[in-house]
Amino acid sequence: MSRDAVQTEHDLGSAGLGAQRVPTGRLCPSSRLAWLMPEGEVDSGRDTFPTPSMELTHLLVVSDLGRSVGFYRDALGAELHREYGGTSAVLRFLGTWLLLVTGGGPTQDKPDVTFSPPADPRNVSHEMAIRVPNCSMAYETLRSRGAEFLTPPVEYEWEVRCFFRDPDGHLLEISEAKLMG
């Protein structure tokens, strides 16, 4: 088997996941992080986008990496995957990659872009919304872990929701969908 190939199937029965067989594909060597590409999938980026092997990483610029890692790990339950030299950390959160980075100036691939934490947390250009089964219970749990909410949960016809911020002011929301009927 070549360096860029992997076994094409794994038996998950021994992992307690039933007797299913799952294709694993082959390693894509062009990525900084090794990821699996299904057999037959073309690594050109133009033939199919997105592909099943792609994943989204959400990047947040933070002012204090240690404080932010602590918040996402201890308050929200994210799992620390890796840290890079005190300037960035990768976490796994609700099936998504979260990359926390400290600010930085332009680079060759982004020549007129500067990364910086939010200048004014009252002005929001994005947020992360977390769908929860019970907003009030999630609110109490996160408050007990140090999350500071803008208000307690507010009930609307279609949902119950409330908002909080990370240590740099990035806005997060917890939201409970209500059954329409």
Residues 110 and 127 in one domain: no
Query: Could you say which of 96, 117, 138 is where a domain stops?
Result: 117
Same domain, 48 and 79: no
Q: What is the pLDDT of residue 179?
A: 85
Burial of 82 (0-12, 13-18, 19+ CB in 10 A): exposed
Residue ranges with strand state E in the chain: 9-11, 21-23, 26-27, 36-37, 57-62, 79-84, 88-93, 96-102, 127-131, 148-149, 154-155, 159-165, 171-177
Looking at the predicted structure, is the pLDDT value of residue 16 above 80?
Answer: no
Domain containing residue 101: CATH number: 3.10.180.10
Q: Do 124 and 180 fall within a single domain? A: yes
* pLDDT at residue 49 in the model: 81
Q: Is the pLDDT of residue 40 over 60?
A: no
Q: Are residues 177 and 157 in the same domain?
A: yes
Whether residues 89 and 100 share a domain: the answer is yes
pLDDT over 60 at 33, yes or no: no
Whole-number Å distance between alpha carbons of 3 and 121:
47
CB proximity list for 123: less than 8 A, separation 6 or greater = none
Residue 22 has pLDDT above 90, yes or no: no
Number of domains in the chain: 3
Q: Are residues 140 and 176 in the same domain?
A: yes
Same domain, yes or no: 36 and 68: no
pLDDT tens-digit readout, 101-112: 999 999 999 999
Q: Which of 117, 149, 165 is the last residue in one of the domains?
A: 117
pLDDT score for 113: 95
Separation of alpha carbons 45 and 180, rounded Å? 40
Q: Are residues 111 and 127 in the same domain?
A: no
Q: Tell me the pLDDT band of 122, cut-offs 50, 70 and 90.
A: very high
Torsion 109-111-113-115 (CA) sign: positive
pLDDT per residue as tens digits for the range 124-154: 999 999 999 999 999 999 999 999 999 999 9
Q: What is the mean pLDDT of residues 22-29?
A: 39
Q: Which of 117, 141, 167 corresponds to the end of one domain?
A: 117
Is the distance from CB of 65 to CB of 88 less than 8 angstroms? yes
For residue 31, pLDDT over 60 is answered with no
For residues 45 and 60, state if they share a domain.
no
**Tell me, what's the pLDDT at 78?**
98
Do 128 and 169 share a structural domain?
yes
74 and 44 inside one domain: no
Q: Identify the domain containing residue 10 by its residue range.
A: 1-53
